[in-house]
């Protein structure tokens, strides 16, 4: 329950305390060493006991852990939002709003691929969490992605989805959701207050990183400059809209654009590009950019300790912990080597 008045210092302190209890690299490394059979107990012992017990009567193995992680994350997001009010809440909501967009994508993919509502309710959107009830209802009732979009019409992005041509496929809907999130969020972050300005800059960095990955993927698949450019989202700082065509033209052109910023480690990025080429995967690039975002989060939280930024930093770290645990569990269940898991997570 939110405390009335200015509770910035209180909620920032609570967020820092919760962040300190998240798993560090050492504990994640220990989890990676566990056998698939040991993982459920190990995850439960690291802060997820309540959710593991809640779902133990319904699922086993990876499905059990998956449902527990999702439920825990949703409950924690709801709990942390309940502590916030005023300006802090409005800023945190801008960041956490992305999870509503994520759920919309889950629903659209399920409907488009004819995945049963039971299967979704047993994994990505567990039905024991009341937050998921309206999403599961859409999957159950919609026969096409168009019908699903119609049922989302009252959501912030509803009009954008409905405006998509009826002949368009799933990708058009996902691209529209991405564009709407960044455009809407950046439009809400107006003014020169330090926390507003820093969060806006961070979202711009996320947008730049997304565009960098899209450019590299497009080039790897042999897409034309026009096709790659159409997939890019305006609003970034490293790659502005007027530089889209240049950045999409070639690998060297992309590097030339990135070198124009003194806030981007272009030499380090070029080195990780070389590693990516050697390993024939974009995973090193994705990890490098993710670490850059994490470092930015750490810095903004440290420089402005009594603001919404430590809360957003905690939310980001919590989401990353859940994603890491999902990857570890899925990887161990699939028989991936510990070296592969460590390369992705640590």
> Do residues 247 and 255 lie in contact, with contact meaning Cβ atoms separated by under 8 Å?
no
Q: What is the dihedral of CA 104, 107, 112, 115, to 10 degrees?
A: 160
What's the pLDDT tens digit per position in 101-114?
A: 999 999 999 999 99
Give mean pLDDT, residues 9-17: 95
Q: Where are the domains of the chain?
A: 1-84+311-346
Give mean pLDDT, residues 205-212: 98
Distance CA 174, CA 178 (A): 6
- pLDDT at position 2 is 44
Q: What is the pTM of this model?
A: 0.92
What's the pLDDT tens digit per position in 43-97?
A: 999 999 999 999 998 888 888 999 999 999 999 999 999 999 999 999 999 999 9
The CATH topology of domain 1-84+311-346 is Topoisomerase I; Chain A, domain 4 (1.10.132)
Distance CA 60, CA 336 (A): 20
Distance CA 315, CA 239 (A): 27
Strands of 36-78 (E only): list them. none
What's the pLDDT tens digit per position in 306-345?
A: 999 999 999 999 999 999 999 999 999 999 999 989 988 8
Give mean pLDDT, residues 268-285: 95
């Amino acid at each position: 329950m939110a405390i009335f008045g200015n509770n910035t210092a209180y909620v920032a302190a609570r967020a820092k305390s919760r962040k300190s209890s998240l798993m560090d690299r050492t504990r994640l490394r220990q989890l990676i060493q566990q056998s698939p059979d040991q993982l459920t107990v190990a995850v439960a012992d690291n802060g997820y006991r309540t959710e593991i017990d809640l779902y133990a009567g319904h699922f086993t193995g990876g499905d059990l852990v998956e449902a527990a992680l999702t439920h825990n994350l949703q409950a924690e997001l709801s709990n942390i939002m309940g502590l916030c009010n005023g300006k802090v809440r409005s800023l945190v909501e801008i960041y956490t709003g992305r999870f509503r967009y994520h759920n919309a994508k889950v629903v659209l993919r399920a409907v488009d691929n004819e995945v049963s509502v039971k299967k979704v309710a047993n994994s990505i959107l567990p039905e024991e969490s009341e937050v998921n009830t309206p999403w599961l209802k859409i999957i159950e009732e919609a026969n096409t992605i168009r019908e699903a979009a119609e049922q989302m019409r009252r959501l912030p992005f509803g009009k954008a989805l409905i405006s998509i041509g009826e002949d368009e496929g799933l990708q058009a809907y996902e691209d529209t959701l991405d564009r709407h999130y960044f455009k809407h969020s950046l439009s809400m972050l107006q003014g020169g207050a330090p926390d507003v300005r820093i969060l806006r800059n961070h979202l711009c960095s996320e947008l730049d990183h997304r565009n960098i990955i899209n450019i590299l993927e497009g080039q790897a698949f042999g897409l034309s400059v026009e096709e790659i450019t159409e997939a890019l989202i305006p609003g970034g700082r490293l790659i502005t809209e007027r530089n889209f065509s240049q950045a999409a033209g070639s690998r060297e052109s992309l590097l030339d654009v990135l070198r124009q910023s003194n806030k981007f480690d272009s030499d380090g990025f070029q080195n990780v590009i070389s590693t990516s080429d050697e390993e024939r995967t974009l995973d090193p690039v994705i990890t490098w950019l993710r670490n850059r975002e994490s470092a930015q989060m750490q810095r903004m939280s440290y420089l402005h300790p009594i603001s919404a930024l430590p809360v957003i930093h905690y939310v980001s770290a919590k989401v990353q912990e859940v994603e890491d645990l999902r990857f570890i569990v899925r990887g161990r269940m699939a028989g991936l080597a510990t070296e592969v898991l460590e390369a992705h997570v640590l």
